[in-house]
Every structure is written in structure tokens, then in C-alpha cells.
Amino acid sequence: GGESGKAAFCMPLDDAFEEVFVVVGRQTSTVFCPRRCRSVISQRIALWEDTTLTVPTKDEEEDVDTYDNFKIGAFIRAVHSTSRLAFVPEELPRLDGSKMTWKGVERWPLVQAYAYDDFGLGFLTLKKQAVDA
């Protein structure tokens, strides 16, 4: 699966943040997090300009399918207006010692969901220019 920035730098990430994603754009940013992380994430991004914090409701979190659709929808909206996506540079070692490259992002469950027939968007890295950050 995919690795977070902390994992890419060989710094383990608390499991509570496993569902969090951040999309930083030129003019706006989007942060998705489950309700259990809202307080911590809100404090960390409080001074970020033009940032939207997307948090599912309690009812959305209780139903796995509803939660997954909400999260996927938030991701699709976050990357919709972007034409280029940057990922962790391949020079950074992963926990297993291999090198990370943007080409591996298609294995990430959230990125795979982007291509599901239900959404009809196709492979993310074929629709958007993907580069190492």
C-alpha cells in the first residue's frame, strides 16, 4: 500500500491518522480526516490559509460503504481541478529499504478507487501529470 510522509522518512505514523489525506493546491488545500482526529488536525492546520477540513458525520462513519464513498468523493473533489500531482521523491528510502516513486501510487487504495467504474474517471496517473516532489 501507500506510505505517508512520516513512513517515507522512516518515522512511524500513529494508526489514528491512517485515514487522513492532504491535497495542497496553489490556491486551496483540502484535508480529510475521520472524526477521531478532527481536534488534533484542526489545531495543526488552523493557520493554513484557504484550507478545507473535510470530516464525515457520525452516521457516515458508522456505515463502511457510506464512509468509503464519502472519503473517495472528498479525494476526487480535492484533485478535480489539478492537472499535476507531486509525490514523495524516489530518493527517499521506504521502510523496507526500497525507493518510492510516483509510479507506485496506483497501488494506493484511495487512488485505485479513483479509477473505479462507479466514478468513471480512469487511472489517476493517466489523467493527471504525476511527478516526484
pLDDT value at 57 more than 50: yes
Question: Residue 126: what pLDDT?
Answer: 78
Residues with Cβ within 8 Å of residue 127, at least 6 apart in sequence? 121
Overall size of the chain counted in residues: 133
- Could you give the CA distance from residue 58 to residue 22 in angstroms, rounded to a whole number? 21
Question: Residue 86: what pLDDT?
Answer: 75
- Among 102-106, 119-123, 127-131, top mean pLDDT goes to 127-131
Q: Long-range contacts made by residues 88-96, C-beta under 8 angstroms, separation at least 24?
A: 88/3, 88/5, 88/8, 88/132, 88/133, 89/132, 89/133, 90/132, 92/8, 92/9, 93/10, 94/3, 94/7, 94/8, 95/3, 95/7, 95/10
Question: Residue 115: what pLDDT?
Answer: 77
- Could you give the CA distance from residue 56 to residue 71 in angstroms, rounded to a whole number? 8
pLDDT value at 102 more than 80: no
Enumerate the β-bridge partners of residue 51. Answer: 29
pLDDT value at 41 more than 90: yes
